[in-house]
């Protein structure tokens, strides 16, 4: 179907892409957290960070930078530990916010949450995830015919499909998160438990990323 543009085995690509996107990861969890905590607009800010981060990694893969990172054990290890440290920081920050006792003032009125740069955090999560780098190196190349003279077109087609799939999935998470907001407002204890689990998930991702060989 897309062989004339240097794209091969498109149906296998679509099946694999769907499985990869649906697999839970720190990026999707952060989008869910942002939408449930701050609303739809914040959710799409987080989603924008993910999408732009993916686009940058795809460009790096096309330019050969991702392969260079993979081929350099020292550089890959540095990126891996930076990613693990950032995930650990996010997890600890969530847990810390739960333990704070100044979230409610003396009159029992909940104080507004501190603003955070959601887009930058989401973009950082994407760019410091070495598993994503490996994905773009090992997965994309299986579906590109390198005898085609303009492989940048092949990359562009595959990247566009990925971004479309991602925005559909992340949009579903965003509206799921906003639907959870009302439930959390009515059940403060449930909100605390949910955020606690989310914080532990981020720390778990950090531990798994740091232990990659």
- Give me the pLDDT at residue 128, please: 77
35 close to 42: Cβ distance less than 8 angstroms? yes
- 73 belongs to a structural domain: yes
- Helices 26-38, 40-63: crossing angle, 10 deg rounding: 160
Token couple for 203:
């720390």
- 159 belongs to a structural domain: yes
Residue 109 vs residue 195, higher pLDDT: 195
Has residue 102 got a pLDDT over 60? no
* pTM for this prediction: 0.68
Structural domain count of the chain? 1
- 140 belongs to a structural domain: yes
Query: Range of 145's domain?
Result: 8-18+25-210
pLDDT tens digits, one per residue of 125-145? 888 776 676 677 667 777 888
- Give me the pLDDT at residue 205, please: 62
Query: CA-CA distance, 190 to 57, in Å (whole number)?
Result: 37
- 3 belongs to a structural domain: no
């Amino acid at each position: 179907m897309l062989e004339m543009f240097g794209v091969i085995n498109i149906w296998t690509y679509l099946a694999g892409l769907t499985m990869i996107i649906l697999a839970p990861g720190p990026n999707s969890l952060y989008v869910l957290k942002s939408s449930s905590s701050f609303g739809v607009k914040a959710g799409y800010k987080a989603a924008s960070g993910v999408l732009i981060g993916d686009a940058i990694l795809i460009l790096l893969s096309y330019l050969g930078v991702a392969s260079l990172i993979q081929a350099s054990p020292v550089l890959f290890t540095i990126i891996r530990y930076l990613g693990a440290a950032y995930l650990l920081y996010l997890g600890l920050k969530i847990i810390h916010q739960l333990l704070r006792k100044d979230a409610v003032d003396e009159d029992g009125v909940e104080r507004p949450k501190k603003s955070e740069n959601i887009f930058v955090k989401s973009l950082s999560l994407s760019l410091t995830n070495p598993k994503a780098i490996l994905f773009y190196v090992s997965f994309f190349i299986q579906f590109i015919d390198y005898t085609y003279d303009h492989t940048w077109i092949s990359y562009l087609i595959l990247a566009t499909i990925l971004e479309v799939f991602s925005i559909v999935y992340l949009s579903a998470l965003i509206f799921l998160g906003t639907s959870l907001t009302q439930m959390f407002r009515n059940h403060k204890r449930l909100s605390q438990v949910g955020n606690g689990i989310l914080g532990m998930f981020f720390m778990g991702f950090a531990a798994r990323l740091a232990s990659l060989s």
